[in-house]
Amino acid sequence: MREKREKWKGLKPLSLFVLLATAALLAWTVTAVQGAEVESVTRYAPSGPAPGEEFDVTLRINGELPLVGGIVETIPSGFRFVSTTHPADNYSVSGQMIAFAVINEKEIKYKVMAPPSGEDTFTGKWIDMLSEKEGNIADTTVIVGGGGAGTQEEDVTPTPTPTPAVPTVTKASRVVPVMEAEKESAMVFEDMDVSMIALKADKNVNDVKVEVERIEKTPDIPEPSGVAYTYLDITEENAGGAKIEGSVEFKVMKSWLVDNNIDEATVKLNRYVENEGWMALPTTKVGEDDNFVYFEAETPGFSKFAVTGEEKVETAYVRLDTIASVGVGEPLVVTGTTNRKEGFPIVISVKGPTELTPQTVKVEKGTFNAMFDTTGAIGGMHTVKVDDEDGHTDETTVVILTAVPTPSPTPASTSEVPGFEVTLPALSLILVVFFVSVALIIGYVFGKRRKGGDVK
């Protein structure tokens, strides 16, 4: 860690390091952090600002949270720092150097004023206090007043009557005045499918020109794998024999992803190599906004490219709805849902004590249904099965009820008064009880009179 900090000693004055020391102290308070680290920092700035123009410079920190580290930017001589959206106590300015403390932030913006004229380069370094990693930010060359690396060519071709979200420029070029060996130089493209290209050469070269153009695929070039979003031709000139490689940041409209059911994770930049065909390049997502998703791909060289994506693959299914019991002779209705395409054939069978004739039906708006005739079926538990004949099935059960015989009616009595046979004996019994009770009462009364006279 001490050796890595030594590399930053050249960043004067000492006050710049107070911010980084603060970030380092905070790093000790972060616990249970696994795999969180800065991967890289990308700078975005216009390459051809007007004289005296105030313009934004954006630093995008790529990595997983939490992040604790520092960035030191060096702006070219003649350019003046104006302001930043970063918290006042988390940055410091000294001459042409700006130091930022980064604490769980993914983006930093600051504003710079361009001089009346000139051409120079923004440089920067970053350090991650948690992982002890550090690195350089790709240089950004700026030419005040346009021209070279900062402008689009005069033959820029806009797309006709574009919607606001559609990239409006189909062809543009940039020139890098000076490229040092093994040092990245970045250039920004506005309103194009390509938003930035970073170059690296194996030796020092000057005035390297890069041109980007959206093209149509010619018949002699085969189709790439997947669904094509756009085709690009990226070329470099004046390399002077140097081997130039780099990275391409491009953007894809979100509406295209949705309309074509594209899996975002499958979006790739493919490079066409003569006699070899299309080669998929390592591609990663680096950000998104309201209209676009941004990706970055590493490339060993420049030629024709295709941006592609694969349709989402959803596991097919067929599902049966619950079926209520039915009686023999009643219609047995089977329904269900599926994600198979419209008109896809589905086979439905019913087996049990009786096997009903299978039916093949077609999917309609994600559903299927069939009606079975149960006339003559044997009652009992039956298994209903749906099969798309592509390895996806579902089963449920239904009870077909046996018809219950209607009970025979009880013959009507021939008596003139129904129930007379029961009523007469009961009535006789009541009369017997009545007369016995009367006799007992009379006997009781007479007994009283014999003993005591009249009863009052």
Neighbours of 71 (CB within 10 A): 25
Question: Could you give all domains of the chain from N- to C-terminal order, each with its CATH number?
Answer: 1-143 (2.60.40.10), 152-313 (no CATH), 318-401 (2.60.40.10)
Confidence at residue 277, expressed as pLDDT on a 0 to 100 scale: 93
Q: Are 51 and 20 in contact (CB under 8 A)?
A: no
Q: Please count the other Cβ atoms lying within 10 Å of the Cβ belonging to residue 338.
A: 20
**Residue 232 CA: distances (Å) to CA of 170, 272, 453:** 9, 10, 140
Contacts 24+ apart (CB under 8 A), 423-431: none
Q: Cβ distance 270 to 224 under 8 Å? A: yes
Q: Which two tokens stand for residue 85?
A: 């959206």
* Partners of 318 in the β-ladder: 338
What count of other Cβ atoms lies within 10 Å of the Cβ of residue 355? 12
Task: Report the run of H or E that residue 452 belongs to, with start and end.
Answer: helix 420-452
Distance between CA 380 and CA 354 in Å, rounded? 9
Q: Tokens 């004949």: give the residue.
A: 389
Rounded distance between C-alpha atoms, residue 67 and residue 65, angstroms: 5
Nearest by Cα to 347 from 315, 395, 399: 395
pLDDT of residue 248: 94
Q: How far apart are CA 321 and CA 327, in angstroms?
A: 19
pLDDT of residue 36: 64
pLDDT computed for residue 247 by the predictor: 93
- pTM value is 0.54
Which residue's structure tokens are 């009820």? 401
What does DSSP say about strands 393-401 and 326-327: parallel, antiparallel, or unpaired?
parallel
| pLDDT value of residue 313 | 77
Predicted local confidence at residue 152, as pLDDT? 39
Candidates 231, 213, 126, 140; CA nearest to 170 is 213
Q: Are 278 and 299 in contact (CB under 8 A)?
A: no
> Strand order of the sheet with strand 54-63?
38-44, 54-63, 107-113, 80-84
Q: Is residue 47 within 8 Å of 70, Cβ to Cβ?
A: no
Which H or E element spans position 445?
Answer: helix 420-452
Sheet holding 318-320, edge to edge: 318-320, 331-338, 367-373
**For every one of its 456 residues, what pLDDT tens digit does the chain have, with 9 covering 90 and above?**
444 444 444 444 445 545 555 555 544 444 444 456 778 888 888 877 888 889 899 998 888 777 788 999 999 988 999 999 999 888 999 999 999 998 888 899 999 998 888 888 889 999 988 888 888 888 888 888 764 343 334 344 444 444 445 677 788 888 888 888 888 888 888 888 998 998 989 999 988 899 999 999 999 999 999 999 999 999 999 888 889 999 999 999 999 999 999 999 999 999 999 889 999 999 999 888 889 999 999 999 999 999 999 998 778 899 999 999 999 999 999 999 999 989 999 999 999 999 999 999 999 999 999 999 999 999 999 999 999 998 999 999 999 998 666 566 666 555 454 554 545 555 555 555 555 555 555 555 445 444 554 434
